[in-house]
Amino acid sequence: MDFNQSADENLFDHARIIGKPHTRVDGALKVTGTAPYAYERHNVAENPLVGYPLGSSIAKGRITRMDATAARSAEGVAAVITALDIDELPRADSNVAKLFGGEWVEHYHQAIAVVIADTLEQARAATRLIEVEYEEIPGEFDLDDAWKRLQDRDVVSHVGDVDAAFDSAEFTLDETYHTASHSHAMMEPHATIADWCDGKNMTLWTSNQMIEWTRQALATTFELDADNIRLESPYIGGGFGGKLWLRADAVLAALGSRETGRPVKVALPRPFIFNNATHRSGTVQRLRIAANKDGRITAFDHSAISHTLPGGSGEDAVNQTRCFYAGENRRVAHHAIDMNLPESADMRAPGEATGLAVLEIAMDEMAEKLGMDPVEFRILNDTQVNPEEPSKRYSDRHFVECLQKGAETFGWAARNTTPGGKREGQWLIGQGMAGAYRGSPTLDSGARVRLSEGRLIVETDMTDIGTGSYTIIAQTAAETMGLEMRDVDVRLGNSAYPSASGSGGQMGAASSTAGVYAACVALQGEITKRLGVESARFENGQVVSGDKSVALRDVAQGEELVGEDSLHFGDFKDELEIGTFGAHFVEVAVNAYTGETRLRRMLSVCDAGRILNPITARSQVLGGMTMSIGAALTESLNVDTARGFFPNHDLAGYEIAVHADIPDMEVIFLDTQDGASTPLKAKGVGELGICGGAAAVANAMYNATGIRLRDYPLTLDRMLDRLPGA
């Protein structure tokens, strides 16, 4: 099905099921522990061996010697494969870090060996018996050093005359900010069971957000025909972008299986999540804003750097500054610096999460300089077109309504406007807000639907990373076919199924439901053909055409009818800016003596097109907000700049928000639809919640204390000296 123009009024505008609060269809499996996650799929492969990886203990250099003799003869060990045993594996385009093989080490905890044994304990113990010698090469690990050295910033885009605008501006801001590197730190580590026993046909039961990308990456890495590779990833215990790629778990399990002729399973040990897998790069950002005294912004100048391994693209923190607010003159520059830290790559809202963490503090600072309310300042600088390219209008943008609705619901008007001016006992109380923006791209998506005896099976390689894909896909199919939720079974995450967007870049919900819709329409075509009618309505489990009505259960007379199609998104979308918008409001308490910061409440108002399911969408936004609180207050992969790694590589040292950090949270969805996005008029919402949230916390802390912090995480040591105490 081609989607070549904005959707008109259609069945989803009169929906029975779409847009309604349905609890997760996979909820019971999850709470009973019976959803099959990769590492515990005990029934798929006969008697698997267990692999355990060994990571490099240096950040950069060459392995000069490896001796695995002792490991090979250890109890229970079936095989040891060292990096020196095989050539460097070819790298797929989607991989930046090398995953295995060869003498060169690019980062700490690069996998340099895997031990395959009968049990996890045996494999783990044997890794410690492998002797490794290195020739170390000094590496570069300090982003601040790189920032200081950097003269020419790579200008990504420059519109108007920024320098002139700053020269003539009545008010200007020029500040430098830092954001920390972040780990996805999902609950389920990367894990795979591989069966490549014959060295020919490979089956992986794994935990991966992008089935087709990963199948192709495996084909490249192992020089196989993709048709000989099968991937299953039906349940994923969190990804946040960390599982977009082929990673070492799958590679080592596959190598182990080929070597031993037995299925092999490998889960990355927790420290590997931080130093072997990918992470979000920290940034240094300089942001300048110019405005006239009426509060209108005349120029933005935003430059940022992040780190990457050679060939990667780092964390592009400047992108949203190109289009979020009005202003005629704008320049953004981003430099991804080659450094010898582990691979930086996408994490939930790559770019915007860190860019808005900074831009939205700067907006708060600028509003204060202008003597304006920060909500009013943003409303004044709203735009309905892309300011870089004014011919490109926003398809559907209700940012101003988000701000207004949020301010009203939160009670913004009643807040104390004097920073440091409100105290309750030992606690300083502050309120702050920030805007949120995240693009809403779509990717062509396919699905297959099979109707048999009135039951519908939906098959697509779309994944559910805890987001609710199973549920919204069932809703889409039931809605389109005139069935009930209970009539639909959804099967996901299998390379045998038609390829969909996968889960990433908040594309999944909008794209994959559109693909399922297309497949259902194809099935409807099969059915009308079978019934010999021109057209029909599908309602109440019946096919209705004129005065003829047949139960769906009966149309195929015991046979199975199949519809398969993809939704192709047309070029018309390129002429539009399609995005999602939001506003966060936060109240914090900061201890006047110790600087401990505790959230009291948080509200987010979202404009994200049609909300397919308010329950699962709300959970997504809450999760994003929670992650933004972590990013604001505690999360940091600390860099050991002597040795080039993240030493706080466990869940004790890398502090994600825990329940006690999360107060009253409220999410409001505006009732909007964006026909330019998909036939369902839906957009992404999975990443919007994390965008800007950190800045709302920062701004609330400023309001509480009068101390402006520009370096994340906003920990107490950064302000202790300046707090009032008594």
Partner 1 sequence: MKAFSYERIDDAAQAAARAFEVPGSKFIAGGTNLLDLMKHEIEVPAHLIDINGTGLDDIVATDEGGLRIGALVSNTALGADERIKRDYPVLSRALFAGASSQLRNKASTGGNLLQRTRCPYFYDPAMPCNKREPGAGCAALDDGADTRQLGVIGTSDHCIATHPSDMAVALRVLDAEVETVSPEGQTRRLTLDEFYALPGDTPEVENALEPGEIITGVVLPAPVGGRQRYYKVRDRASYAFALVSVALIETDDGKGRVALGGVAPKPWRREDADAELGNGAEAVMAKLLDGARPTEENAYKLTLAERTLAALLAKE
Q: Judged by CB under 8 A, does residue 655 bind partner 1?
A: yes
Out of 104, 166, 171, 593, point to the residue binding partner 1 (CB under 8 A).
Answer: 593
Ramachandran assignment for 506, one of left (phi > 0), alpha (psi -120 to 50 degrees), beta (any other): left
Out of 33, 425, 532, 558, which residue is the one contacting partner 1 (CB under 8 A)? 425
Residue 569 makes contact with partner 1 by CB under 8 A? no
Query: How far apart are the C-alpha atoms of 523 and 694, rounded to whole Å?
Result: 46
Answer for which of 10, 176, 409, 594 binds partner 1 (CB under 8 A) is 594
Phi-psi category of residue 540: left, alpha or beta, with phi > 0 → left and psi -120 to 50 → alpha: left
What is the sign of the dihedral through the CA atoms of 249, 250, 251 and 255?
positive
600 is a site residue for partner 1 (CB under 8 A): no
On the question of a cis peptide bond just before residue 713, with omega within 30 degrees of 0, the verdict is: yes
Catalytic status, residue 564: no
Q: Any contact of residue 65 with partner 1 (CB under 8 A)?
A: no
Nearer to partner 1 by Cβ, of 51 and 441: the residue is: 51
Residue 161 token pair: 């005359």
Q: List the one residue from 6, 228, 426, 528 that touches partner 1 (CB under 8 A).
A: 426
Residue 67 engages partner 1 in binding (rule: CB under 8 A): no
Question: What stretch of H or E contains 481?
Answer: helix 469-481
CA atoms of 331 and 163, how far apart (whole Å): 10
From 250, 456, 633, 701, residue interacting with partner 1 (rule: CB under 8 A): 633
**Among residues 126 and 291, whose Cβ is nearest to partner 1?**
126
Shortest spacing between CB 639 and partner 1, in angstroms: 8
The residue among 161 and 640 lying less far from partner 1, judged by its C-beta, is: 640
- Decide whether 449 or 698 has the Cβ nearer to partner 1: 698
Helices of type H across 270-390: 270-275, 352-370, 374-380
Whose Cβ is closer to partner 1: residue 132's or residue 333's?
132
CA distance 217 to 563: 29
**With CB under 8 A, what is the number of residues at the site for partner 1?**
47
Task: Kindly tell me which residue out of 128, 148, 200, 537 binds partner 1, with binding defined by CB under 8 A.
Answer: 128
| Range 3-31 burial, b when 16+ CB lie within 10 A, else e | beebbeeebbeebebbbeebebbbeeeee
Q: Tokens 């780092």 sit at which residue?
A: 314
Of the candidates 46, 53, 36, 80, the one whose C-alpha atom is nearest the C-alpha of residue 263 is 46
CA angle, 565 then 570 then 576, to 5°: 140
Is 713 an interacting residue with respect to partner 1 (CB under 8 A)? yes
- Asked if 647 is part of the footprint of partner 1 (rule: CB under 8 A), the reply reads yes
Place of tokens 């549920």: 471
Q: Output 432 or 595, the one with its CB closest to partner 1.
A: 595
33 contributes a contact to partner 1 by CB under 8 A: no
Compute the distance between CA of residue 634 and CA of residue 615 in angstroms, rounded to an integer.
28
Question: Could you tell me the smallest distance in angstroms from the CB atom of residue 130 to partner 1?
Answer: 12
Q: Establish if 541 lies at the interface with partner 1 (CB under 8 A).
A: no
Binding status of residue 313 toward partner 1 by CB under 8 A: no
Question: How many other CB atoms are there within 10 angstroms of residue 524's CB atom?
Answer: 22
Find the helix packing angle between 693-705 and 352-370, rounded to 10°. 40
- 172 touches partner 1 by CB under 8 A: no
Q: Which residues are catalytic?
A: 687
Judged by the rule CB under 8 A, the positions of this chain that interact with partner 1 are 55, 57, 75, 121, 124-125, 128, 141-142, 271, 425-426, 591, 593-596, 598, 633-634, 638-643, 647-650, 652-653, 655, 657-661, 713, 715-717, 720-721, 723, 725-726
